[in-house]
């Protein structure tokens, strides 16, 4: 993991060196659907005189640091609870600008076809960061597979008070979780990664987050940079009716507009 981060950081630095001109908007993103949405708005920004530089990054540890340091003008890969946790734990000063879409978190498996088939002692992979771990555990609790201690704002597996199936939890970085599908019984995977590996949210999810999820994916920039003309142009371009139609047509309800 550490080697991957070093390599990714080095690639980012090489790609972006000298590319921070006033008419370039450099945004770090997850590949799907984030990069595809930004590709769609490129012509709009170009018509306004801006060159949108899309930097795909699979390692979640990189974009916020790169945005804080000014290597990226903005990033687009996360939801607000994750951003708040990152700001708190890493001492960052990043801010949300606009919400773009919701990717329902779901549980997937290659070993069972129905959640009722989940066996005693099954292993489940969830994200290791507090916000997404809590998100996954809340879905399991709603399905009555576990019970969490009350009044916990960000639950972890240590906060499980009832676990009738003796479920075991493996906590990993979000981008690594899809690789565990062949090994574990159940995995909590974000929609962007599901689209990456060719699965369907509507057809393959055994458990799925409600459509009224508060975890909308957002555009993020440094505090004090949110009123920059480049960021204002980015925000306006990514929240048009054309973008809403693109999301609805392209992802058929598996990604939901949040504006």
pLDDT along the chain (259 residues), means of 10: 42 44 92 96 98 95 97 97 95 98 95 98 96 95 97 95 98 95 97 89 92 87 97 98 97 91
Say whether both 10 and 88 belong to one domain: yes
pLDDT in tens, 52-111: 999 999 898 999 999 999 999 999 999 999 999 999 999 999 999 999 999 989 999 999
Strands (E), 30-173: 51-56, 74-79, 94-102, 106-108, 123-127, 147-148, 160-162, 168-172
Count of the separate structural domains present in the chain: 2
**Which tokens go with 213?**
């999820």
* DSSP run (H or E) holding 88: helix 80-90
Say whether both 203 and 144 belong to one domain: yes
Say whether both 88 and 127 belong to one domain: no
SS (H, E, C) 181-247: CCCCCEEEECHHHHHHCCCCHHHHCCEECCCCCCCEEEEEEECCCCCCHHHHHHHHHHCCHHHHHHH
Q: Are 40 and 246 in contact (CB under 8 A)?
A: yes
At 244, which CATH number?
Answer: 3.40.190.10
Say whether both 189 and 223 belong to one domain: no
* DSSP run (H or E) holding 21: none
CA 149 – CA 194 distance, rounded (Å): 30
Say whether both 12 and 51 belong to one domain: yes
Q: Are 46 and 54 in contact (CB under 8 A)?
A: no
Say whether both 9 and 20 belong to one domain: yes
Identify which of 38, 41, 84 has the alpha carbon closest to the alpha carbon of residue 64: 84
Say whether both 199 and 228 belong to one domain: no
| Residue 230 lies in domain | 2-103+215-257
CA 204 – CA 200 distance, rounded (Å): 5
Identify which of 108, 103, 105 has the alpha carbon closest to the alpha carbon of residue 34: 103
Q: Are 187 and 180 in contact (CB under 8 A)?
A: yes
CA 192 – CA 194 distance, rounded (Å): 5
Note the pLDDT of residue 211: 64
Identify which of 61, 76, 75, 107 has the alpha carbon closest to the alpha carbon of residue 209: 107
**Which tokens go with 6?**
């070093």
Say whether both 73 and 141 belong to one domain: no
CA 203 – CA 166 distance, rounded (Å): 27
Say whether both 77 and 121 belong to one domain: no
* pTM tops 0.75: yes
């Amino acid at each position: 993991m550490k080697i991957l981060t070093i390599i990714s950081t080095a690639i980012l630095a090489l790609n972006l060196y000298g590319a921070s001109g006033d008419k370039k908007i450099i945004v770090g993103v997850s590949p799907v659907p984030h990069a595809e949405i930004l590709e769609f708005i490129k012509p709009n920004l170009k018509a306004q005189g801006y060159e949108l530089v899309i930097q795909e990054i699979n390692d979640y540890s990189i974009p916020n640091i790169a945005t804080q340091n000014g290597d990226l003008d903005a990033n687009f890969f996360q939801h607000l609870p994750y951003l708040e946790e990152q700001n708190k734990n890493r001492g960052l000063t990043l801010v949300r600008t606009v919400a773009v879409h919701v990717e329902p978190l779901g549980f997937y498996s290659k070993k069972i076809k129905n959640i009722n088939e989940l066996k005693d002692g099954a292993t489940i992979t969830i994200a290791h960061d507090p916000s997404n771990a809590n998100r996954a555990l809340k879905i399991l609790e709603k399905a009555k597979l576990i019970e969490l201690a009350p009044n916990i704002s960000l639950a972890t597996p240590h906060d499980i008070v009832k676990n009738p199936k003796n479920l075991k939890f493996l906590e990993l970085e979000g981008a690594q979780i899809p690789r565990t599908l062949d090994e574990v019984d159940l995995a909590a995977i974000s929609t962007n990664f599901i689209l990456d590996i060719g699965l369907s949210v509507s057809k393959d999810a055994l458990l799925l987050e409600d459509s009224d999820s508060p975890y909308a994916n957002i555009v993020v920039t440094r505090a004090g940079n949110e009123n920059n003309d480049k960021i204002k142009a980015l925000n306006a371009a990514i929240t048009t009716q054309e973008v809403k139609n693109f999301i609805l047509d392209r992802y058929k309800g598996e990604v939901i507009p949040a504006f």
